[in-house]
């Protein structure tokens, strides 16, 4: 890597940083001073001038509720004094309360915003009335005045004019302690996380060769990672970005829980709350769960099938690098004060309406990139798994984790175009004014819902099926048994994949779609329980007669069985339409999908991390810290999500920024015990978040002074345990690829029916060599 490339990378990085800094300027702060640009009083020059002195008179030190005060605004100095008497203008903004005009020299722009009129521009002082709010607020006034030289009529415009700004403040009758702006908190935490990440990376760089440490090698080292196409390095990048965004999504969840911990809270305003739950969902699903799954898949799939790398390594790197760029786009809104506020489902027509924030456009743009990323990943993994398996490994000899990645990528590959189409329509609607979702122009209000859920439901299986694969591997290895019913496991996963495309309507039982369609969806949704049940019973039967070794990953896998089964059972309540009419959009739904997303996907990813970490790094993780992580996380996790079931049934709706408890039998009040439950949930949310630091600490400690890992620490059978820990690059030598033997000789010699069918689709080897 030469210096030219380093400077090029630095230039690209600088441009990205500049883009992020400029982004907040691109959109005006929604609660800020409108009509007057932050950079100045827009028609009278860009820079304020010291010679102009604006004044606000008549402000009380402390206001009385709802009282009206007469206020005089005026200015001295500037060109007005030097022979241009009475030429000037002003703009006054107040954070709370209303400003009323008294005469024709002043006009109102909004309740809290006034300025001079045409008739009032020959004065240096104006009178207005301010009515204080009826509650306790810290009031801030901002006054901008122009001192004008009067040459505008002569064609000189605003040249020579000067202006300045002053602010005033009024205190509430009861002192208000300003709470931090949640967005400032979030943005600070994101920056802090980035700094911590950078420090960690630097430290890891130092640890790679402490004896020959040299800063000049840092550039090439980091560029080596950024430009790598090795499946293991890209997998690590996925892992780092996935864990990073899991943390960011977690911080957002904590802020949501702070808001909901007491009834009637105002830590987050409605507007902020809407952005928080939107960003939380989007971050967790698209920027945390999917990359974490891709991390494990990138690392393990080529190793498991005995391939030196993925089929299309450059495409793989591109799939990854689309993600951070998409993340920057999606997060742009947070730093410009108007993040997407549409919910992760982004229902039309709200998403194209004027009330949706400007950040929504950036959100849609980022999602389009993620669609591209997922599509490329799908192409890559399907190709790799179909054509790069080692000799002797038919489709029905593939390890179950590879099967799960194959099926989930197939589902994703088929379903995500629908989402992409919807996103592009919405993007065009928002940006260039097409009318896909404009109802007046004949747009269909349900089109988006159909497109989204046609993708959205397979998507939730896309993130859970790989967890099935992980659990299959871990349960079998830990119990020292071959998995019970390998074939039915594969067929069950394929069944889930197939059924996932015909059940999406259960998200839309209340949406006003055709009743007969709802009925069909009820039947198909109920069916999902069958293959899922087969998998759970097969896992349980695998343990039968085995010799279960309790390691951290075993604990996580058993925990998964418990939490995922609970999530599966609660899922059975939704297809029953008459119940869904009540449960839809309540906390029962929130409880259910967190039980399957966290108790399923995240627990599955943690299992995979503890299971394959020695293979990835060559270092063993600490079992005691791992057990501590499992116990704290498992208990706090259940404390966090279990009570939500009850909240939903009794009447707490999701996506509502607060709830009220105002007494027994008072209309609109939840039962008094719900205050306790919500506080309990919030405390557990913090505990669950903190428990993850055991994992982080474990990883860091093990990297620094962990025991060296043997090639096969747990006693698994698949190819990844044949290579060294960590594996070399390429993962298997090209001239000596492994060959799978089969303990069941009769099966190995006859290709499966599915294998024959797929082989027909493939180009024969002879034709390629010709």
Partner 1 sequence: MTVTSLLFFDLWDEFMLWSILVGVFTFGWLYHHSVTYRSKDGEELPNVDEIEVGVFPKENDDLRLEVAWTILPFILIVYLTYISWAPIDSVWTSTEGGAHGYECEAGYYSNNVMDSENGFVTSDCYHILEVTGKQWAWTFECNPDVEVTDRTYELSNDICDTGTYQVEGYGMQPSVSLKAGETYLLVMESEDVTHSPWFIELGVKEDVLNGQKTTMWLPITSIGEGLILCTEYCGDAHSLMAGVLITHD
Give me the active site residues, please. Answer: 280, 309, 344, 373-374, 457, 459, 461, 472, 506-507, 532, 535, 654
CB 589, min distance to partner 1, A: 10
State in angstroms the smallest separation of the CB of 530 from partner 1: 5
Region 372-411 residues binding partner 1, contact defined as CB under 8 A: 393, 397
The strand pair at 98-101 and 125-131 is best described as antiparallel
Near partner 1 by CB under 8 A, which window of 46-54, 175-183, 292-300, 527-535?
527-535
Nearer to partner 1, 417 or 671 (CB): 671
Helix 552-571 crosses helix 587-596 at what angle (to 10 degrees)? 140
**212 is a site residue for partner 1 (CB under 8 A):** no
Alpha-carbon span 104 to 121, nearest angstrom: 11
In 10 A of CB 717, how many CB atoms? 15
Closest CA to 420 of 362, 365, 382: 365
The least CB distance from residue 16 to partner 1, in Å, is 32
Give the residue with the Cβ less far from partner 1, 376 or 647: 647
Q: Residue 75 forms beta bridges with which residues?
A: 54
| Parallel/antiparallel/unpaired status of strands 68-76 and 106-110 | unpaired
Please say which residue, 96 or 238, places its beta carbon nearer to partner 1.
Answer: 96
Does 519 contact partner 1 by CB under 8 A?
Answer: yes
Site size for partner 1, by CB under 8 A?
117
- Is 671 near partner 1 (CB under 8 A)? yes
Contact 662, 668 (CB under 8 A): yes
255 near partner 1, rule: CB under 8 A: no
Q: Which residues in 296-355 contact partner 1 (CB under 8 A)?
A: 341-343, 345, 347, 349-350, 353, 355
Question: Which position among 479, 493, 633, 699 is part of the footprint of partner 1 (CB under 8 A)?
Answer: 479
167-190: string of b/e by CB count within 10 Å (b at 16+)? ebebebeeeeeeeeebbeebeebb
Q: Which is nearer to partner 1, 190 or 561 (CB)?
A: 561
Residue nearer to partner 1 on the CB measure, 352 or 407: 352
Report the alpha-carbon distance of residue 39 to residue 26 in Å, rounded: 12
For residues 78-107, which are near partner 1 according to CB under 8 A?
none
Residues 69/63, Cβ–Cβ less than 8 Å: yes
Is 669 a binding residue for partner 1 by CB under 8 A? The answer is yes
Rounded distance between C-alpha atoms, residue 203 and residue 708, angstroms: 20
What is the smallest separation between the CB atom of 656 and partner 1, expressed in angstroms? 4
Among positions 571-600, residues that touch partner 1 (CB under 8 A) are 572-573, 575-579, 581-582, 584-586
Instruction: Among 565, 638, 692, 731, indicate the residue that binds partner 1 (CB under 8 A).
Output: 565
What tokens appear for 613 in the block? 């970490």
**CA angle (5, 11, 12) in 5-degree steps:** 95
CA angle 200, 205, 209 (to 5 degrees): 140
Binding of partner 1 by 679 (CB under 8 A): no
User: Two tokens at 391?
Assistant: 């000799």
552: tokens are 């951290």
Q: Please report the sign of the dihedral spanned by the C-alpha atoms of residue 567, residue 287, residue 282, residue 286.
A: negative
Angle subtended at Cα 379 by Cα 376 and Cα 381, rounded to the nearest 5 degrees: 105
622 binds partner 1 (CB under 8 A): no
Tell me whether residue 313 or residue 443 sits nearer to partner 1 (CB atom).
Answer: 443
Of 21 and 439, the one with the shorter C-beta distance to partner 1 is: 439
Q: How far is the CA of 683 from the CAs of 570, 638, 676, 677, 679, in angstroms?
A: 24, 12, 11, 10, 6
First to last CA, the chain: 37
Task: Report the residue from 147, 404, 538, 682 that binds partner 1 according to the rule CB under 8 A.
Answer: 538
**CB 655 to partner 1: min, Å:** 5
Q: How far is the CB of 515 from partner 1 (least distance, A)?
A: 5
Of the candidate residues 356, 362, 460, 616, the single one contacting partner 1 (CB under 8 A): 356
Interacting stretch for partner 1, rule CB under 8 A, among 53-61, 132-140, 519-527, 609-617? 519-527
Q: Is 446 in the site for partner 1 (CB under 8 A)?
A: yes
Residues 629-668 that bind partner 1 (CB under 8 A): 649-651, 653, 655-658, 660, 662-663, 665-668
Cα–Cα distances in angstroms (integers) from residue 338 to residues 227, 245, 274, 363, 732, in the given order: 33, 20, 10, 11, 49
452 contributes a contact to partner 1 by CB under 8 A: no
Q: How far is the CB of 566 from partner 1 (least distance, A)?
A: 7
Q: Is 20 exposed, middle or buried (0-12, 13-18, 19+ CB in 10 A)?
A: middle
């Amino acid at each position: 890597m030469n210096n030219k490339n380093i400077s090029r990378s630095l230039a690209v990085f600088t441009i990205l940083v500049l883009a992020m800094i400029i982004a907040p300027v691109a959109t005006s702060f929604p609660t800020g001073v409108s009509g007057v640009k932050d950079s100045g009083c827009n028609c009278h020059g860009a820079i304020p001038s010291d010679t102009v002195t604006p004044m606000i008179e008549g402000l009380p030190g402390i206001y009385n509720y709802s009282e009206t005060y007469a206020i005089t605004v005026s200015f001295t100095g500037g060109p007005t004094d030097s022979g241009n008497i009475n030429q000037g203008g002003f703009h006054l903004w107040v954070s709370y309360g209303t400003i009323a005009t008294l005469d024709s020299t002043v006009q109102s722009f909004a309740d809290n915003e006034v300025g001079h009129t045409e008739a009032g521009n020959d004065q240096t002082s104006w009178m207005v009335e301010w009515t204080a709010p009826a509650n306790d607020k810290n009031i801030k006034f901002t006054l901008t005045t122009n001192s004008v030289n009067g040459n505008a009529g002569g064609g000189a415009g605003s040249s020579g004019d000067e202006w300045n700004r002053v602010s005033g403040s009024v205190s509430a009758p009861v002192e208000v302690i300003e709470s931090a702006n949640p967005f400032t908190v979030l943005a600070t935490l994101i920056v802090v996380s980035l700094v911590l990440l950078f420090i960690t990376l630097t430290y890891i760089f130092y640890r790679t060769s402490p004896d020959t440490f040299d800063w000049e090698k840092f550039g090439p080292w980091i560029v080596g990672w950024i430009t790598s196409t090795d499946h293991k390095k890209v997998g690590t990048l996925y892992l780092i970005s996935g864990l990073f965004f899991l943390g960011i999504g977690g911080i957002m969840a904590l802020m949501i829980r702070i808001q909901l911990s007491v009834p009637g809270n105002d830590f987050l305003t409605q507007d902020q709350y809407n952005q928080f739950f939107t960003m939380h969902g989007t971050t967790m699903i698209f920027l945390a769960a999917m990359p974490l799954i891709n991390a494990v898949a990138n690392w393990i799939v080529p190793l498991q099938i005995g391939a030196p790398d993925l089929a299309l390594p450059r495409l793989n790197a591109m799939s990854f690098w689309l993600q951070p760029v998409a993340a920057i786009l999606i997060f742009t809104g947070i730093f410009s004060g108007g993040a997407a506020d549409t919910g992760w489902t982004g229902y039309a027509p709200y998403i194209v309406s004027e009330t949706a924030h400007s950040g929504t456009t950036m959100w849609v743009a980022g999602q389009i990139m993620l669609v591209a990323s997922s599509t490329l990943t799908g192409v890559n993994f399907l190709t790799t798994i179909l054509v790069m398996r080692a000799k002797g490994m038919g489709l029905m000899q593939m390890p179950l984790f590879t099967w799960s990645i194959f099926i989930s990528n197939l589902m994703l590959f088929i379903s995500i175009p629908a989402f992409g189409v919807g996103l592009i329509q919405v993007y065009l609607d928002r940006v260039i004014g097409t009318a896909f979702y404009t109802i007046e122009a004949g747009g269909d209000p349900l089109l988006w819902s159909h497109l989204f859920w046609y993708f959205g439901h397979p998507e939730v299986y896309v993130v859970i099926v790989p967890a099935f694969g992980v659990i299959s591997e871990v349960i079998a290895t830990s119990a020292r048994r071959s998995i019970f019913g390998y074939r039915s496991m594969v067929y069950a996963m394929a069944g889930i994949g197939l059924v996932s495309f015909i059940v999406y309507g259960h998200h839309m039982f209340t949406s006003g779609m055709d009743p007969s369609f709802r009925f069909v969806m009820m039947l198909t949704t109920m069916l999902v329980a069958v293959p899922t049940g087969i998998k759970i019973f097969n896992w349980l039967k695998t343990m039968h007669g085995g010799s279960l070794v309790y390691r951290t990953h075993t604990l996580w896998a058993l925990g998964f069985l418990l939490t995922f089964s609970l999530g599966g059972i609660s899922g059975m309540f939704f297809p029953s339409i008459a119940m869904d009419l009540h449960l839809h959009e309540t906390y029962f739904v929130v409880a259910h999908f967190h039980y399957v997303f966290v108790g399923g996907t995240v627990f599955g990813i943690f299992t995979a991390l503890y299971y394959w970490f020695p293979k990835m790094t060559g270092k063993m993780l600490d079992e005691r810290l791992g057990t501590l992580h499992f116990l704290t996380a498992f208990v706090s996790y259940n404390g966090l999500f279990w009570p939500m079931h009850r909240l939903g049934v009794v009447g707490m709706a999701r996506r509502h920024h607060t709830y009220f408890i105002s007494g027994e039998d008072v209309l609109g009040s939840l039962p008094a015990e719900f205050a306790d439950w919500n506080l309990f949930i919030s405390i557990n949310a913090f505990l669950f978040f903190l428990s993850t630091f055991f994992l982080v600490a474990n990883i860091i400690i093990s990297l620094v002074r962990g025991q060296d890992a043997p090639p096969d620490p747990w006693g698994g059978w698949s190819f990844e345990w044949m290579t060294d820990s960590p594996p070399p690059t390429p993962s298997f030598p090209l001239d000596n690829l492994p060959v799978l033997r089969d303990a069941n000789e009769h099966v190995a010699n006859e290709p499966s029916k599915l294998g024959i069918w797929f082989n027909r689709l493939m180009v024969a080897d002879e034709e390629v060599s010709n």
